[in-house]
Amino acid sequence: MKMNRFKLCLTILWLVSLPVFAGITHGPYLQAVGENEATIVWTTETPCVSWVEVAPAGDESFYAVERPQFYQTRDGNRVIGKLHKITLTGLAKGTEYRYRIFSKEVLKYHGQHNVLYGNVFSSKVYNRNPLRFTTLDREKKNISFVMLNDIHGRVDDLKALCNRVRYGKTDLMIFNGDMVDHMVDETNFFAGFMDESVNMFAGEVPVFYARGNHETRGAFNMSFSDYFPSHTGKLYYSFRQGPVHFIVLDSGEDKPDSDIEYSGLAQFDAYRSEQCEWLKKDLQSESFRTALYRVVIVHIPPFGDWHGTIEVREKFLPMLNQAGITAMLCGHLHRYIYLEPDRLTYDYPILINAHNTSLEIHADADKMTVKRYDTSGKELHSYIYPKENR
């Protein structure tokens, strides 16, 4: 008995002494949440093997039983690195889960499989509740989500516009592009918006991202999808939550591919044409056809005379017109514009959100309500879209 108590004390001391969060530099945050899966992303200061442990919702201790562990693997091997993207599979739709993350340092890897491990870092499961999330559910009766755009690293505005985002109240967050000026390196976008997003909500409220033209710029731009993955592996995709089918398009750059600013690296005209082929199929999907509301998220609006705007207008609008779109939500212009439906070009409203306001949207069986707020929390505009008008 004395020996068992001694071992228990040693175990508790070991657990308490673990360097919790010390080696975790950014995250964790939720990406690509669906009905049956979710991806957890975080980074560490040293190369690690990482995993996520998952438990059902409830008050039962995380230590009551051994919890399932999910690893990032590639070609049959567990991945060693500083960026960790772990997809949880086999989940039930519309279900709450608790989770915690672990990263074990790999100090040396030599020989065939001779590995020297170091410290273990984890989320703060010992002195606080585990993080949690809820999978999507197309049968959910009502949902709420928030959209903002063109933050360009203004963290104070981000904090002011997201102060009502809460787990259990907000189903999801949408970043509609240009959250940074350009993709310089990992540090600039975490410092510019993502670290504060994690502090406020992103570990429990999933973020869906529509890339803006400024995220296509900078030496680190090709790594964008590594940090913000989608369930399709593309930067254009769709998903369903409750009565809303979301179509997320990537509008690319705003000037011609040949513009000197792109140094001969741009090929966005072909990329937007590629999306059209995908969009044809998505508009025929069961998820789209059965949704009460169909919302298009795209950074560059089809308004103006710049090349990117013309491409969006000429390639995307003909396909979306007469498809039953409820609304298109855009950014890019740094000012608010509301375009009423034009039966010849687009038979749905287009709302261009400003760089310093947010859209808070609620959808249920009767209507979809869009409210626009400024950084002081003042409501500026409100729109209602009945389901029968879709």
The domain segmentation of the chain, as residue ranges, is 2-134, 143-389
Q: How far is CA 284 from the centre of its chain?
A: 25
Do strands 367-374 and 357-363 pair parallel, antiparallel, or not at all (unpaired)? antiparallel
Q: Is the dihedral of CA 199, 203, 206, 209 positive or negative?
A: positive
Other CB atoms within a 10 A radius of the CB of residue 150 amount to: 24
- Residue 273, C-beta contacts closer than 8 angstroms, at least 6 positions apart: 315
Domain 2-134 -> CATH class: mainly beta
Check residue 300 and give its pLDDT. 98
- Among candidate residues 232, 236, 234, the one with its CA nearest the CA of residue 248: 236
**Residues facing 78 on adjacent strands:** 73
| Position 125 pLDDT exceeds 70 | no
More confident residue, 345 or 28: 28
Let me know: does 176 contact 203? Beta carbons within 8 Å: no
What is the per-residue pLDDT across 181-230, written as a single tens digit (0 to 9) for each?
Answer: 999 999 999 999 999 999 999 999 999 999 999 999 999 999 999 999 99
Tell me which DSSP letter residue 194 carries: I
Give the ranges where 164-267 is alpha helix by DSSP (H): 186-189, 195-197, 224-227
Ranges 10-14, 147-151, 263-267: which has the least confidence: 10-14
- Among candidate residues 364, 357, 365, the one with its CA nearest the CA of residue 382: 357
Domain 143-389 -> CATH class: alpha beta
Let me know if 64 is exposed, middle or buried by CB neighbors in 10 A (0-12, 13-18, 19+): exposed
| Position 17 pLDDT exceeds 70 | no
- Among candidate residues 387, 355, 353, 385, the one with its CA nearest the CA of residue 370: 385
Check residue 4 and give its pLDDT. 57
What is the per-residue pLDDT across 50-68, written as a single tens digit (0 to 9) for each?
Answer: 999 999 999 888 888 999 9
What three-state secondary structure class fits 130?
A: coil
Let me know: does 140 contact 113? Beta carbons within 8 Å: no
b/e for 105-140, b at 16 or more Cβ within 10 A? bbeeeeeeeeeeeeeebbbebeeeebbebbbbbbeb
